[in-house]
Structure 1
Amino acid sequence: MVSGEGRPSEARDGGRGSAVSHSSCLPAVLQLLIARRRRTSCYFYPRAWPSIRGADWWERVVLKEFGPQDWLEKFRMSKETFFYVCNQLRPGLAPHSAHFHPTLPLEKRVAVALWHLATNVEYQTLSPLFGVGPSTVQTCVREVSYAVVLLLKPLYLRLPNEKELENMVRIFRTRWGFPHCIGALDSLHIPIHPPLRLSADYCNGQGWHSILTQATVDGMGQFWDVSTAFPGSMENSAVLESSSLWVLAKEGRLCPNPPKNFMGKAQKYVLLGDATYPLQDWILKPYQEDENLTQRQLRFNYRLKRAHSVIENAFLRLKARWQILLKCDDCSLELLPTLVLACCILHNICEAHDNPFNEEWLEGTEPTELPKPCQPAPAAMEDGRAEQVRELMCQYFESCGEG
């Protein structure tokens, strides 16, 4: 298991401008948007310069002639953010590294890696564009991914402090209408080729092979806890119990001590999950849908599902930016956990630096024939005390008079 917990170091509030407004859209809206579009293939080469490729293409074209839209389209971030990332990675990508030719600049190595993560183009296809061999492309992807996790994870994927937790609660309340909440929890299955060893372990409940990533986002759709490298056959509840998030919660490190007051009672901050997660006094999930639900319970379900959509949208944006996560063909099983963490960190950097998100990228995340596994959490993991927390939430929504 590889894990990361935390949040970007920048201030997180609702006044960050329109660049992050897509995170607040409901999944249904995104799906309608996707359904109206026709899927198009990724452009692997610059459309305006089809005949200029090779060793000097980076220097002659990218650095001198690329405009803002070219940087965004090819590297999924602005030119300013790209060079910010390069400067942050400089200590971990020393020019004297034995893995690289001495004339291959650090910025070019980062560019090769980001282009691959963004497009998922094969090493053999990408190598002539930058005038390097396929093995060098592979090395760039590996070394840059490791450097991102080593050097940028402490800044952009770390455990929030008490003041940051309070800000997260405020954002969930004001942006999503859900109180006393610090995050939405969900999992992402990343398709892989069947591994030669332990193939059955990686075959999930829907019959396709994947590795499983558990993640938590704040109300702005940025990741602050990620645990990955779990075999696809594991259920969400088992992944949760094996994750660093479970340990943090059991140690009381997800809320202040003593807990803050909510509805007249000392109550831990909560995360929002779906039916695949166990009900805990710090994890809330919807009531099981049936004809016996009261209006208060139906209102609670609506509010929770609406707020939980922030992580569904975050996963969509993550995969749309870094389409390597749609199908990991060239990546080894050993590297994949590091690559997933790197993509989550890069997602946070783009969001924190207000880099535009192109909704056309969502075409690549259109639902395919691979349905998401969805196994309900076992009753044995349910915490009986948690029902009182759901009841407090029902009382809150009823007192607000909101539907």
Structure 2
Amino acid sequence: METQSFTFLSPQPLSHYNALDFSWFSDMEMGFNGNSKKLSRRDTDESLVNGEDLKNDGFKDILSSLLLLDEGAPKQEQHQWLTGFEPTFEADYKEKVEEIDATYHCSKMEDSSSSRKNKRSRKSGSVAASSSTVSVGSDNAGLPESSGGSGHQRRLWVKSRSKDWWERCNHPDFSDEEFKRVFRMSKSTFDLICEELETAVMKKNTMLREAIPVRQRVAVCIWRLATGEPLRMVSKRFGLGISTCHKLILEVCSAIKTVLMPKYLQWPDENKMKQIKDEFESITGIPNVGGSMYTTHIPIIAPKTSVASYFNKKHTERNQKTSYSITLQGVVDQNGVFTDACIGWPGSMTDDQVLEKSAFHQRATMGQLKDVWVVGGKGYPLMDWVLVPYTHQNLTWGQHAFNEKIWEIEKVGKEAFARLKGRWGCLQKRIEVKLQELPVVLGACCVLHNICELRNEEIEPGLKFEVFDDEVIPENNLRSMASDQARDRIAHNLLHHGLGGATGFY
């Protein structure tokens, strides 16, 4: 037996064999030196390993010679003979014991390996109906089994899921009309988004599995945002695990925020702002209008902490159903494209409170909105840069004319939010996303909305959504006397220049 075999099988220490050897020889000496108790065959068998040593031919010859010794011979001579024979006998015995022990360990290893193979085959048979085996690499072939080799490939168990639906949608023959109905955008717009996000969302293949393609990653996110379907339906459609789909949605939304938001959602520069002002003035006759502001509520699952802060009182009273929400405040241009968005303040806050907490308000108070009006509804206060309608009773004809024009500008923002919620159905129902992750998802919806609006992606009539957010008039709705006087001048000019809707009554 080679020494390497013992090293690989990790036998017992050699001292174990030495102790066994010497105790055996001590008993033999007592028997052959006149002790009244003779060694029986049974005693000899028990002193050897598994009783198999006596079957060996070499052991039979040795024992036969020992038993034929003359019992009457002098004890000293017998002892000397045995002592002289001991080295040869011990070496032969140790060699046999080592051979038997190695054979024993090998047989145990074979039995254990066979048992593991049987268990593995039974387990694979029980999950064969719902699982498939993926072979991974063959670089370790020929290595010992303990190092992942022994000529067998590594195997990874994955659940078999159908990708037929996605493969059909991703096929070149899939019609653009059907694609737009499913993903709320045309194929060309979808391809543009994939190209923009490719470097941010691409993953490399590993030795265990192939990476999910960029188009499928983006499609999972967009389909989830568009339909608002639960994650189990997303998993079924795309043939991916539920946790994988959830992870992909957050990753793609984060990439949209990082890569696309600075490009598609930003406050206009000077030239762009002049264009917006001219467009609004040509429609309404009100000068220096740079955007329409509106605030909507996004339903959420009741949070575990600060529940009262997210309680939506107006929505609960209207629908007779307890509602919790977060707010989304946005400013849009004349085309309904978002130029600013403030996301995530609790639903119990009113429109003016959300405005005061926003970064947009901070920029305005620092003078970055000089000579610009942002038009809002009656839920906002009149400020140096916020223009709102008259809310008191007994309005004059000029004030009526002003309110009608303001309503036309308000309508631009309100319809933009209606298209936003209609296009992205996840905003109409409670989203299966943690509260701290919602701003990223809602921000991605705003960016995708802008891309669709800039590329003239029309929303289907069946997807139109009517916003029902209630406006509460602030207690202090007049924050600037200068703005109050400016509003009166605008109302007077509209009436006397024939731009107001009440000119027929004058």
TM-score, normalised with respect to structure 2: 0.63
Check 1:81–1:101 CA distance in 2 against 1; reply closer, same or farther (3 A cut).
farther
Task: Name the counterpart of 2:234.
Answer: 126
* 275, 286, 303: which one aligns with 1:178: 286
Check 1:338–1:381 CA distance in 2 against 1; reply closer, same or farther (3 A cut).
farther
CA contact (8 A) 2:376 2:387 kept: yes
Task: Name the counterpart of 2:373.
Answer: 270
Aligned-partner residue type, residue 94 of structure 1: M
Task: Name the counterpart of 1:307.
Answer: 409
CA contact (8 A) 2:165 2:238 kept: yes
Q: CA deviation at 1:70?
A: 1.4
CA contact (8 A) 2:276 2:334 kept: yes
CA contact (8 A) 2:218 2:252 kept: yes
Work out whether 1:59 is the aligned partner of 2:167. yes
Work out whether 1:284 is the aligned partner of 2:405. no
Work out whether 1:109 is the aligned partner of 2:224. no
CA contact (8 A) 2:375 2:388 kept: yes
- In the alignment, the residues of structure 2 paired with residue 97 and residue 324 of structure 1 have an alpha-carbon distance, to the nearest angstrom, of 31
- In the alignment, the residues of structure 1 paired with residue 184 and residue 300 of structure 2 have an alpha-carbon distance, to the nearest angstrom, of 23
CA contact (8 A) 2:380 2:477 kept: no
Task: Name the counterpart of 2:452.
Answer: 350
Task: Name the counterpart of 1:44.
Answer: none
Check 1:296–1:130 CA distance in 2 against 1; reply closer, same or farther (3 A cut).
same
Aligned-partner residue type, residue 402 of structure 2: F
Name the one with the larger helix percent. Answer: 2
Matched residue of 2:367: which SS? coil
Task: Name the counterpart of 1:393.
Answer: 490
- In the alignment, the residues of structure 2 paired with residue 322 and residue 61 of structure 1 have an alpha-carbon distance, to the nearest angstrom, of 19
Check 1:61–1:153 CA distance in 2 against 1; reply closer, same or farther (3 A cut).
closer
Q: CA deviation at 1:400?
A: 2.4
- In the alignment, the residues of structure 2 paired with residue 189 and residue 88 of structure 1 have an alpha-carbon distance, to the nearest angstrom, of 30
Work out whether 1:215 is the aligned partner of 2:313. no
* 396, 401, 418: which one aligns with 1:294: 396
Task: Name the counterpart of 2:114.
Answer: none
Matched residue of 1:379: which SS? coil
Check 1:278–1:61 CA distance in 2 against 1; reply closer, same or farther (3 A cut).
closer
- In the alignment, the residues of structure 2 paired with residue 60 and residue 336 of structure 1 have an alpha-carbon distance, to the nearest angstrom, of 31
More deviation in 100-109 or 180-189? 100-109
TM-score, normalised with respect to structure 1: 0.78
Task: Name the counterpart of 2:473.
Answer: 376
Aligned-partner residue type, residue 453 of structure 2: E
* 302, 319, 335: which one aligns with 2:437: 335
Task: Name the counterpart of 2:146.
Answer: none
Describe the superposition over 1:75-128 as per-residue Cα deviations: whole angstroms up to 9, x where unpaired.
111101101001111121131399x96331011010011011000011101212
- In the alignment, the residues of structure 2 paired with residue 373 and residue 328 of structure 1 have an alpha-carbon distance, to the nearest angstrom, of 19
Task: Name the counterpart of 1:316.
Answer: 418
Describe the superposition over 1:288-339 as per-residue Cα deviations: whole angstroms up to 9, x where unpaired.
142x211111110111012210011001100010010001231221211111
Task: Name the counterpart of 1:142.
Answer: 250
- In the alignment, the residues of structure 1 paired with residue 276 and residue 218 of structure 2 have an alpha-carbon distance, to the nearest angstrom, of 32
Task: Name the counterpart of 2:369.
Answer: 254
Q: CA deviation at 1:189?
A: 0.4
Check 1:153–1:61 CA distance in 2 against 1; reply closer, same or farther (3 A cut).
closer
CA contact (8 A) 1:287 1:301 kept: yes
Aligned-partner residue type, residue 224 of structure 1: T
Matched residue of 1:179: which SS? coil
Task: Name the counterpart of 1:167.
Answer: 275
Matched residue of 2:339: which SS? strand
Percent of paired sites with the same residue: 34
* 330, 347, 354: which one aligns with 1:239: 354
Structure 1 residue ranges (4+ consecutive) displaced by more than 6 angstroms after TM superposition = none
Gaps of 5+ in 2: 1-160, 317-322, 502-506
Q: CA deviation at 1:60?
A: 4.5
* Structure with greater Cα Rg: 2
Work out whether 1:224 is the aligned partner of 2:339. yes
Check 1:294–1:346 CA distance in 2 against 1; reply closer, same or farther (3 A cut).
same
More deviation in 393-402 or 70-79? 393-402
Q: CA deviation at 1:157?
A: 0.7
- In the alignment, the residues of structure 2 paired with residue 178 and residue 220 of structure 1 have an alpha-carbon distance, to the nearest angstrom, of 17
Check 1:160–1:241 CA distance in 2 against 1; reply closer, same or farther (3 A cut).
same
Describe the superposition over 1:17-39 as per-residue Cα deviations: whole angstroms up to 9, x where unpaired.
xxxxxxxxxxxxxxxxxxxxxxx
Matched residue of 1:64: which SS? coil
Matched residue of 1:318: which SS? helix
CA contact (8 A) 2:277 2:287 kept: yes
- In the alignment, the residues of structure 2 paired with residue 185 and residue 296 of structure 1 have an alpha-carbon distance, to the nearest angstrom, of 23
Aligned residues: 332
Describe the superposition over 1:134-183 as per-residue Cα deviations: whole angstroms up to 9, x where unpaired.
11111111111111111001111112111111011011122344322011
CA contact (8 A) 2:289 2:372 kept: yes
Task: Name the counterpart of 1:84.
Answer: 192
Check 1:388–1:201 CA distance in 2 against 1; reply closer, same or farther (3 A cut).
same
Gaps of 5+ in 1: 1-52, 256-267
Task: Name the counterpart of 2:158.
Answer: none
Q: CA deviation at 1:61?
A: 4.4
More deviation in 377-386 or 129-138? 377-386
